Amino acid sequence: MDWSDDLSVGVTEIDNQHKRLIELINKLHDAMKAGQGKLVLETTLQELAAYTVYHFQAEEQYMQQFKYPRYSSHKVEHDAFVKKVTDFQKDFAEGRLGLTLDLMKFLKDWVKNHIKATDKQYSALFNKSGLA
């Protein structure tokens, strides 16, 4: 998955966080394709999950600070994604599920679609509130 300008939300800090999420998804994908061991995959998945939580908290803090009217529905999307990744981590760690191309497609599609369809909705408010 590559960063492209159509993924920009017009806020440098958040764009940089989105770029890092894409890097981590790509790192996980590359490790999976290279057949790296479970420990490497598990560590990479943990890093992705932790960074996702960090990023969501940053976005949500700005949403609350700027009184973003769609905060509740946006947070629901974040919470659902975190739960799905957490459930996957648990299943993977317990050997019930492996990393698959379908999972990688889900991660890439979710991030790309979430940025384009949901995150871009806050751009104008964040910019008007002083974030650029």
CATH number of the domain at 116, please.
Answer: 1.20.120.50
Range of the domain at 56: 7-128
Please report whether residue 123 resides in a domain. yes
Please give the helix or strand (H or E) that residue 23 lies within, else none.
helix 12-33
Residue 130: both structure tokens together = 């002083």
Could you give phi then psi for residue 2, rounded to 5 degrees? Answer: -110, 145
**For the segment 34-68, what is each residue's pLDDT rounded down to a tens digit?**
888 778 888 888 999 999 999 999 999 999 999 99
Residue 84 forms part of a structural domain: yes
Our count of domains for the chain comes to 1
37's tokens:
């061991």
Is 82 part of a structural domain of the chain? yes
pLDDT tens profile 62-111: 999 999 999 999 999 999 999 988 888 888 888 877 777 778 888 999 99
Evaluate whether residue 1 is within a structural domain: no
Using CA atoms, how far apart are residues 17 and 114, in angstroms rounded to an integer?
14
Predicted TM-score (pTM) of this structure: 0.93
The CA distance from 96 to 84, in Å, is 15
